[in-house]
């Protein structure tokens, strides 16, 4: 067979190494998985993007840090040491000979599927500050990328000091680099309460928790621990606005008063971090009991790509799991045992790797109704119109009216005004369609701060449950990466030699007056000048 | 039409399969001419190639070029919604080889009466603030340009609706009803739609659908990929490309570029699978950083892939299906965004008048493949790789 020189056929990627088992994320689940697999004789590479470079954190990637990182984050060595201290199992991992790569982000997973078949093996894109980006191949991967926070707009939420609960916990605990003294916590979920307790333990004063619902929604035992410390949950309330100062938040206005604070910690929703999985093309579904969109997993925790297993928070978040890391660790070990078996390990697995992971409780708290209620109260009922998408500066009204972005200065005349229902037909609104038209979610933070709010807004407007709104797509690279960093270190000479802006078909671009009346492949023997556009 | 049959009462005079730019533009021109038209789209409008392309609008090799150039500056007003069309383009060569190639394009355009200015490296740097010391030469096209695919697709769709046409999204065409050599209805998962005329503009699915009507359209499907960066300060002209890339700076400031190897694939049986992109984004990023060195620090924030069908010679087929009385088929063969204002108008005329009045589109007829080798795809190396499990 002839081969098309301009196609991928015969081209190779710049692969810097191979991993038998790649574990992505060194939290409780990923570490347990890596250690278990290594104990069973598997060669393991464990990557974690922490410590995250200061500049990346400033862009709210991967978490919503609210610009409250202290300067110590710039000291990479100190941050590395701090990380080893906060996760002692990392030392065990090193001792077991695991190839541990800290400060290394995975920005893409690429696996052959119906519409992409040319790679020899599954590929992962990695990047770190020193070496830039590189590609590795792998036999199997365990994805343990954890969680991020649902964002929540209110007037002034773009001020430094407004941040997510997971980001606050990471900065206060693992980094010991949270720049703040007094926090107001939004939400009364288990995750909000845990953030309050963690921050208090690290010396931050907790002003109160604010809850829009009538009663706190988190577990009673956490509530009791907060009460014991004198921390109150103010129900039926919300942040009306931020009091801004020179360094960001100086306080908030709530219903019936004012609170001094320099941190506003959003804890209304912990979201499984499925970006890598969704961008790779894993099947995902909305699961109320697991905190939102999660990958479809089989009993061995394999995703729709059998080589990819998923453990820890990115496989599902619920109150009990947030409170007890043992659940995530069990998932990690369970997945690792199967991975080791599939990779041909003959070492007898430890007894505790057979313990099946616990499922979420049956009567789960309805995160759909809860998130919608927060968005109604905080965003739609706000007195001014905060930007839901901070990167592209798009308000809720602009999203729901499907307004062209402001840079177009487009004034739709009345008869031409178009709103959400016009787009819909019979199907639920699609956040990707809204994104294309309003640009909400298209900015450099890659929709991390607005995605779940937009989902809730569309559900509210179309009077549908949150579960009816499809997932806004994720695309690689799931961590923003400079052009020069993204470039391959060594490019296959065949790619360079055959590079064309389009397919390089000779007759496609021959001027119309110069083409034959009847086309045959053999007519290409007569060369005619052409150039791709 | 078959309106008396209650089962197929919801039809229209013209039913168009495919809500990409080709089908939507055809619907726009038909609705504009007062024809009752329905577009049936399996997903959301423009979800496939029409919403995933580079937005380029300068196709001087095509018989529709003159009409493409005439119409784009009018489209915002004609449609009533912004397409983000911006005229003009600068193509940058970084070496002599590129300059020789690009000069062929210039000759084509000039031959048709369009102006192109030659730029020296200094002039390029003045007009293109992100360009660098590596510029070899440039061409300033005083024609062509680019538009925003997402906004253009939606503008067509809304313009169709404003003229009484219907756009049915989330509706999959599953088959056809024929009476002799006439197509009388289109079957979907949401019922059957009667028609006096059928237009097939279903992109990679066009061949599979036309085969159901006994019409053989030779195409093969491939994947192409693009990347986009975070916004950068606006350059005076957004239509900057070269160095083997196509693309543009969007009006928001993002750099959106594509190019490089494509992959041949099987047409999907059930369209709607994933559209993953591959690590080829690295090679695209490398070339954007070479083309515009002052953007090398800019962050890539997305990449994506689109599927496009290609005819054996890579040129469109816009023709009445020869064995049927009332069916028009249209594939733009991988280069259909920029031409869409003109291709839609040509389709409208083929449907209504049987011929195109403003351009000689005889080169787009299906019968040009009369003598095509049966194994043309293998001969051209267009066979998909088998998917190893
Ligand atoms: C990465 C990339 C870059 C490109 N760059 C450019 C460029 O710069 N300039 C340019 O001019 N062109 C470019 N192109 C090509 C251009 O995008 C396509 O040629 C053009 O969009 C084709 O439009 P279409 O309407 O014919 O097909 P499509 O956009 O494929 O639309 C066909 C529609 O039919 C629908 N459909 C299919 N089957 C069914 C069914 N059974 N029932 C109902 N609906 C169905 C599909 O969902 C789809 O929406 C590019 C393409 C890609 C992928």
Distance from residue B24's CA to the centre of ligand 1 (Å): 11
Residues B306 and B224 in one domain: yes
Residue of A nearest to B157 (CA): A423
- Asked if residue A430 lies in contact with residue A440, where contact means CB atoms within 8 angstroms, the answer is no
Return the CATH number of the domain spanning residue range A15-147+271-352. 3.50.50.60
DSSP string over A334-402: HHHHHHHHHTT--SPPPGGGGSPPPPPPSS---HHHHHHHHHIIIIIT-SS--EEETTTTEEHHHHHTT
Same fold, A15-147+271-352 and A151-268: yes
Could you tell me the mean pLDDT of each successive run of 10 residues in chain B, 389 residues long?
Answer: 54 97 98 98 96 97 98 96 96 98 95 97 98 98 97 95 94 97 96 97 98 98 98 98 98 97 92 86 98 98 97 98 97 98 98 98 98 97 84
- Judge whether B79 lies within some domain: no
The confidence score (pLDDT) of residue B274 equals 82
Count of domains for chain B: 2
Which run of H or E residues covers position B32? helix B21-32
B21 within a domain of the structure (yes/no): yes
Contacts of A338 (CB under 8 A, 6+ apart): A300, A301, A302, A309
pLDDT confidence of residue A415 = 44
Asked whether the beta carbons of residue B381 and residue A5 sit closer than 8 angstroms, the reply is: yes
A95-142 per-position pLDDT tens digit: 999 999 999 999 999 999 999 999 999 999 999 998 899 999 999 999
Same domain, B186 and B42: yes
Which tokens belong to A20? Answer: 């038998």
Mention every residue, 6+ apart, whose C-beta is less than 8 A from residue A501: A532, A533, B241, B244, B245, B246, B258, B259
Residues in chain A closer than 8 A to B229 (CB atoms): 483
**pLDDT at residue A261, rounded to an integer:** 98
Instruction: Please provide the average confidence, as pLDDT, over all residues in chain A.
Output: 95
* Cβ–Cβ contact A236 with B under 8 A: no
* Cα gap A181→A260, rounded to integer Å: 10
Query: What single DSSP character describes residue B262?
Result: B
Q: Please check whether residues B154 and B211 belong to one and the same domain.
A: yes
Answer yes or no: is B83 within a domain: no
Report how far residue B201's alpha carbon sits from residue B198's, in angstroms, rounded to the nearest whole number: 10
Asked whether residue B199 falls in the same domain as residue B326, the answer is: yes
Q: Which residues have C-beta within 8 Å of that of residue A490, sequence separation ≥ 6?
A: A14
B289, B310, B331 - which closes a domain: B310
- Is B77 a domain residue? no
Is pLDDT above 80 for A150?
yes
Q: Does residue B386 belong to the interface with chain A, where contact is any CB pair within 8 Å?
A: yes
Ligand 1 center from residue B150 Cα (angstroms) = 12
* Distance (Å, whole) CA A532 – CA A510: 9
Say whether A425 and B223 touch across the interface (CB within 8 A).
no
Task: Kindly state whether residues B364 and B305 are assigned to the same domain.
Answer: no
Beta carbons within 10 angstroms of residue A163's beta carbon: 29
Given pLDDT bands bounded at 50, 70 and 90, which one contains residue A428?
A: confident
CA–CA dist A84, A176 (Å, integer): 12
Residues B302 and B225 in one domain: yes
User: What is the Å distance from ligand 1's center to B203 Cα?
Assistant: 5
Distance CA A34, CA A97 (A): 11
**Nearest residue in A to B144, CA atom:** A533
Q: Do B155 and B289 fall into the same domain?
A: no
Minimum-distance CB partner of B154 among A280, A408, A437: A437
Residue A457 has pLDDT above 80, yes or no: yes
Q: For ligand 1, pick from B16, B19, B20 the residue to mutate: most ligand atoms within 8 Å of CB.
A: B20
CB contact under 8 A, B265 and A491: no
- Residues in B 25-84 with any Cβ partner in A closer than 8 A: 44, 46, 51, 56, 58-63, 80-82, 84
Domain at B351, CATH number: 3.50.50.60
Q: Which of A284, A519, A524, A528 should we substitute to test contact with B (largest number of B Cβ atoms within 10 Å)? A: A519
In terms of domains, do B192 and B234 share one? Answer: no
Residues 6+ apart with CB under 8 A from A282: A274, A295, A296, A303, A304, A305, A308
What is the token pair recorded at B38? Answer: 């329905």
**Are B301 and A480 an interchain contact pair (Cβ–Cβ within 8 Å)?**
yes
> Taking Cα atoms as reference points, which of A240, A241, A183, A185 lies closest to residue A210?
A185
Name the E strands within A181-238: 182-186, 205-210, 233-234
Report yes or no: A23 and A301 within 8 Å, Cβ to Cβ: no
pLDDT, residue B253, reads: 97
CA distance A444 to A424: 28
Nearest Cβ partner for A408 among B82, B169, B275: B82
Candidates A345, A277, A275, A286; CA nearest to A310 is A277
For residue B318, is it within any domain?
A: yes
Considering only alpha carbons, which residue of chain A is nearest residue B363? A517
What per-residue confidence (pLDDT) applies to A419?
A: 64
What percent of chain A has a predicted confidence (pLDDT) above 90?
89
pLDDT tens readout for residues A358-397: 999 987 789 999 999 999 999 999 999 999 999 999 999 9
> Model confidence over A292-338: pLDDT tens digits?
999 999 999 999 999 999 999 999 999 999 999 999 999 999 999 99
Residue A37, classed as helix, strand or coil, is: helix
Which structure tokens are listed for B215?
A: 């019409």
Q: Does B151 touch chain A (CB under 8 A)?
A: yes
Q: What is the pLDDT of residue A357?
A: 92
Whether B78 is covered by a domain: the verdict is no
Q: State pTM to two decimals.
A: 0.97
Domain endpoint, select from B259, B290, B310: B310
- Kindly list the residues from chain B whose CB atom is less than 8 angstroms away from the CB atom of residue A11: 261
Q: Identify any residues that bridge with A210 across adjacent strands, giving them in sequence order.
A: A186, A234
Tens digit of each residue's pLDDT (9 = 90 or more) over A496-521: 999 999 999 999 999 999 999 999 99
Report the residue among B23, B24, B48 best suited for mutation to probe ligand 1: largest number of ligand atoms under 8 A from its CB. B48
Chain B CA closest to residue A411: B81
Residue of B264, B361, B380, B214 whose CA lies nearest to B312: B380
pLDDT at residue B386 in the model: 86
Assess whether B302 and B162 both reside in one domain.
no
pLDDT bracket for residue A412 (50, 70, 90)? low
pLDDT higher than 90, residue A2: no
CB contact under 8 Å between B289 and A487, yes or no, is yes
Same-domain status, B362 and B326: yes
Cα-based distances in Å from B340 to A512, B65, B223, B240, B321: 17, 11, 20, 21, 20
Q: Is the per-residue pLDDT at A414 higher than 50?
A: no
Do A62 and A107 meet the contact criterion of CB atoms below 8 Å apart?
no
My answer on whether B130 and B265 are in the same domain is yes
Distance CA A61, CA A41 (A): 35
Residue B342 placed within a domain: yes
Cis peptide before B313 (omega within 30 of 0): no
DSSP letter at A115?
Answer: T
Whether A108 and B279 lie within 8 Å, measured CB to CB: yes
Domain housing B340? 8-71+149-218+313-380
**Domain ranges across chain A:** 15-147+271-352, 151-268
Inter-chain touch A476–B303, beta carbons under 8 Å: yes
Q: Of the residues B203, B256, B278, which should be mutated to test ligand 1's pocket, given the most ligand atoms within 8 Å of the CB?
A: B203
Q: Domain boundary residue among B310, B341, B368?
A: B310
Q: Is B279 near chain A, with CB under 8 Å?
A: yes
pLDDT band of residue A426 (cuts 50, 70, 90) is low
Torsion angles phi and psi, residue A380, rounded to 5: -75, -35
Which residues form ligand 1's pocket by a CB distance below 6 Å? Answer: B 17-23, 40-43, 47-50, 52-56, 172-173, 201-203, 205, 209, 224, 226, 246, 258, 271, 306, 308, 332, 334-339
> A509 CB near a chain B CB, below 8 Å?
yes
Task: Tell me the pLDDT tens digit for each residue of A60-101.
Answer: 999 999 999 999 999 999 999 999 999 999 999 999 999 999
The per-residue pLDDT for B1 is: 41
Residue A125: enclosing H or E segment and its boundaries? strand A123-128
Q: What does the alpha-carbon distance between residue A382 and residue A389 come to, in Å, rounded to a whole number?
A: 15
What number is the average pLDDT over the span A145-159? 98
User: Token match 């773009």: residue?
Assistant: A158
Q: Domain containing B276 — which CATH number?
A: 3.30.9.10
Q: In the Cβ-directed half-sphere of A319, how many Cα atoms lie within 13 Å?
A: 20
Q: What is the ipTM of this complex?
A: 0.96
Q: Which residues of chain B have a CB within 8 Å of the CB of A118?
A: 263, 278, 385
- For ligand 1, the distance from its centroid to the CA atom of residue B277, given in whole angstroms, is 16
The fourth-level CATH superfamily of domain A151-268 is FAD/NAD(P)-binding domain (3.50.50.60)
Clarify whether residues B134 and B197 are in a common domain. Answer: no
Nearest-CB residue to B261 (from A6, A439, A444)? A6
Q: Whose C-alpha lies nearest to ligand 1, atom 19? A: B336
pLDDT confidence of residue B3: 43
CA angle B62, B63, B66 (to 5 degrees): 95
């Amino acid at each position: 067979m002839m081969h098309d020189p301009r196609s991928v056929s015969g081209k190779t990627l710049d692969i810097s190494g191979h991993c038998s088992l790649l574990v992505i994320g060194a939290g409780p689940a990923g570490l347990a998985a890596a250690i278990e697999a290594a104990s069973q004789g598997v060669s393991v590479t464990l990557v974690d993007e922490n410590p995250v470079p200061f500049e990346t954190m400033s862009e709210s990637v991967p978490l919503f840090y609210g610009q409250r990182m202290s300067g110590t984050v710039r000291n990479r060595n100190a941050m590395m040491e701090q990380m080893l201290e906060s996760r002692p199992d990392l030392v065990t991992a090193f001792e077991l000979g695991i190839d541990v790569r800290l400060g290394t982000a995975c920005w893409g997973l690429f696996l052959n599927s119906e519409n992409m078949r040319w790679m020899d093996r599954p590929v992962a894109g990695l990047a770190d500050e020193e070496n830039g980006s590189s590609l590795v191949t792998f036999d199997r991967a365990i994805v343990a990328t954890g969680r991020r926070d649902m964002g929540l707009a209110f007037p002034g939420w773009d001020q430094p000091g407004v941040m997510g609960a997971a980001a606050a916990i990471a900065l206060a605990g693992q980094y010991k680099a949270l720049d703040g003294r007094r926090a107001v916590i939004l939400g009364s979920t288990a995750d909000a309460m845990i953030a309050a307790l963690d921050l208090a333990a690290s010396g931050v004063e907790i002003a109160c928790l604010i809850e829009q619902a009538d009663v706190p929604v988190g577990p009673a035992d956490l509530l009791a621990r907060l009460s014991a410390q004198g921390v109150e949950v103010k129900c039926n309330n919300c942040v009306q606005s931020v009091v801004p100062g020179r360094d960001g938040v100086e306080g908030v206005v709530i219903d019936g008063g004012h609170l001094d604070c320099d941190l506003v910690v959003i804890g209304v929703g912990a979201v499984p971090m499925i970006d890598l999985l969704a961008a790779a093309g894993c099947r995902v579904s909305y699961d109320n009991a697991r905190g939102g969109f999660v990958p479809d997993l089989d009993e061995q925790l394999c995703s729709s790509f059998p080589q990819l297993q998923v453990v820890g928070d990115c496989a599902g978040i619920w109150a009990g799991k947030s409170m007890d890391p043992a659940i995530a660790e069990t998932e990690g070990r369970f997945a690792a045992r199967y991975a080791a078996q599939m990779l041909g390990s003959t070492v007898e697995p430890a007894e505790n790797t057979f313990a099946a992971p616990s499922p979420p409780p049956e009567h789960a708290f309805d995160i759909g109704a809860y998130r919608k209620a927060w968005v109604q109260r905080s965003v739609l009922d706000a007195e001014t119109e905060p930007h839901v998408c901070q990167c592209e500066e798009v308000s809720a009204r602009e999203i729901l009216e499907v307004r062209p972005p402001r840079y177009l200065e487009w004034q739709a005349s009345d008869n031409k005004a178009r709103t959400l229902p016009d787009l819909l037909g019979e199907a639920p609104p699609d956040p990707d369609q809204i994104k294309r038209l309003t640009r909400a979610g298209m900015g450099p933070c890659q929709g991390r701060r607005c995605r779940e709010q937009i989902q809730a807004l569309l559900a509210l407007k179309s009077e549908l449950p949150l579960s009816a709104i499809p997932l806004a797509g994720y695309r690689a690279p799931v961590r923003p990466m400079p052009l020069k960093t993204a470039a391959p270190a060594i490019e296959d000479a065949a790619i360079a030699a055959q590079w064309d802006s389009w397919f390089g078909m000779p007759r496609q671009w021959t001027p119309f007056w110069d083409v034959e009346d009847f086309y045959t492949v053999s007519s290409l023997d007569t060369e005619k000048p052409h150039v791709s556009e | 039409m078959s309106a008396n049959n209650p089962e197929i009462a919801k039809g229209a005079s013209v039913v168009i399969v495919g809500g990409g730019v080709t089908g939507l533009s055809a619907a726009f021109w038909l609705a504009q001419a007062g024809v009752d038209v329905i577009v049936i789209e399996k997903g959301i409008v423009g979800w496939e190639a029409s919403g995933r392309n580079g937005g380029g609008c300068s196709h001087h090799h095509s018989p529709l070029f003159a009409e493409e150039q005439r119409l784009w500056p009018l489209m915002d007003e004609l449609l009533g919604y912004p397409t983000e069309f911006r005229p003009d383009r600068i193509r940058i060569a970084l070496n002599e080889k590129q300059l020789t190639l690009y000069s062929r394009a210039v000759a084509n355009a000039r031959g048709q009466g369009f102006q192109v200015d030659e730029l020296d490296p200094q002039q390029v740097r003045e007009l293109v603030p992100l360009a660098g010391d590596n510029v070899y030469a440039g061409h300033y096209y005083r024609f062509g340009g680019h538009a925003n695919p997402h906004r253009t697709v939606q503008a067509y769709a809304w313009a169709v609706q404003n003229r009484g046409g219907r756009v049915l999204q989330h509706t999959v065409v599953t088959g056809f009803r024929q009476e002799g050599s006439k197509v009388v209805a289109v079957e979907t998962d949401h019922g059957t739609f009667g028609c006096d005329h059928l237009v097939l503009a279903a992109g990679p699915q066009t061949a599979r659908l036309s085969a159901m009507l006994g019409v053989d359209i030779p195409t093969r499907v491939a994947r192409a990929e693009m990347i986009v960066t975070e916004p950068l300060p606006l350059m005076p002209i957004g239509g900057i490309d070269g160095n083997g890339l196509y693309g543009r700076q969007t009006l928001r400031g993002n750099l959106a570029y594509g190019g490089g190897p494509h992959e041949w694939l099987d047409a999907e049986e059930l369209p709607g699978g994933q559209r993953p992109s591959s690590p080829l984004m690295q090679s695209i990023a490398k070339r954007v950083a070479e083309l515009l060195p002052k953007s090398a620090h800019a962050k890539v924030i997305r990449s994506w892939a689109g599927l496009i069908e290609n005819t054996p010679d890579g040129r469109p087929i816009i023709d009445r299906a020869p064995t049927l009385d009332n069916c028009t088929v249209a594939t733009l063969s991988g280069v259909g965004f920029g031409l869409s204002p003109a291709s839609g108008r040509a389709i409208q005329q083929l449907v209504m008048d049987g011929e195109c009045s403003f351009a000689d589109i005889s080169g787009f007829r299906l019968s040009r493949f009369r003598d095509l080798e049966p194994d043309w795809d293998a001969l051209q190396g267009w066979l998909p790789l088998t998917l190893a499990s």
